[in-house]
Homo-oligomer: A and B are copies of this chain.
């Protein structure tokens, strides 16, 4: 079967769509969107209608995961091409990988159109170096009576090597994002269970809210004393800081000198102990 599938990242907010993404969304046979893995400043469908000038078909989690994107494959069969527009970059969700693999196996050509990713944007806005960027983790809600320790373990592993940790926040089953306060409470509860001494007043965090939106906000504070920022948010926990990073946090984000000193001593002590 011939035809082309485009997986198109549209960035994090309305201004971040690229010219390439606009051109692809204009030229394909049909445009689909999914909004259940992330959140856009306005309705993604309205945004595409306005910028690209065409209507889109909104897919549910069920359409993509249980029905394996059958509706997209059918559109390619009928019109020769289709695009799935996703918020951010197409890198984060396994769903999109599975769709690309499946389409390729059917003989469909696939092109991944990059968009601005929350992982790189969060590190860049914080002023931290990608040379010390450790693996990403997601802070999750308790599900089926079980609270996953994964985010704590990834954070501990990164801190023990002086690396920075981007923490993404969970999506509620009924829609909407975990708040910064909820995420910090999960981390404090995990600290009480695991007791490795990572989560403490001495750990600094870069709290980032609505990156790429018109009301983007960034606050550096102690992890256990988070600011009240609107979702969606990301928490970036620095590991070791070089002098350029330290000055950036202090001068650009107004981080307290005393907090940064305590953070660096805390991380160094953890690196020695772990």
Contact = CB atoms under 8 A, between A and B. Distances in A.
Interface in A88-104: 89-92, 94, 97-98, 100-101, 104
A244 B131 contact: no
- Taken together, the copies of this chain in the complex come to 2
A23 B13 CA distance: 14
Given A120-B89, A135-B132, A244 B98 contact: yes
A114 B251 contact: no
A101 B136 contact: no
Nearest to A123: B91
A163 interface: yes
A96 to B, nearest CB: 9
Interface in A76-118: 89-92, 94, 97-98, 100-101, 104-105, 110, 112, 114-117
Nearest to A166: B130
A220 interface: no
Interface string A33-53: 000000000000000000100
Contacts of A101: 244, 247-248, 251-252
Interface stretch (A14-22, A196-204, A224-232): A14-22
Which range holds the interface residue count of chain A? 35 or more
A172 to B, nearest CB: 20
A125 B131 contact: no
Contacts of A127: 97, 100
A234 B46 CA distance: 36
A117 B152 CA distance: 27
A163 to B, nearest CB: 6
Given A15-B19, A98-B244, A131-B137, A114 B116 contact: yes
A91 B15 contact: no
Contacts of A121: 89, 114
A91 B20 contact: no
A157 interface: yes
10 contacts: A89-B116, A100-B127, A101-B252, A114-B124, A115-B116, A117-B117, A119-B120, A130-B135, A131-B137, A134-B134
CB-CB nearest 6 A-B residue pairs: A15-B20, A91-B124, A117-B120, A120-B120, A114-B121, A130-B136
Given A134-B134, A134-B135, 16 more contacts: A11-B18, A15-B19, A90-B124, A97-B245, A100-B248, A101-B251, A104-B251, A114-B211, A116-B117, A117-B130, A130-B135, A130-B136, A131-B135, A131-B136, A133-B133, A157-B161
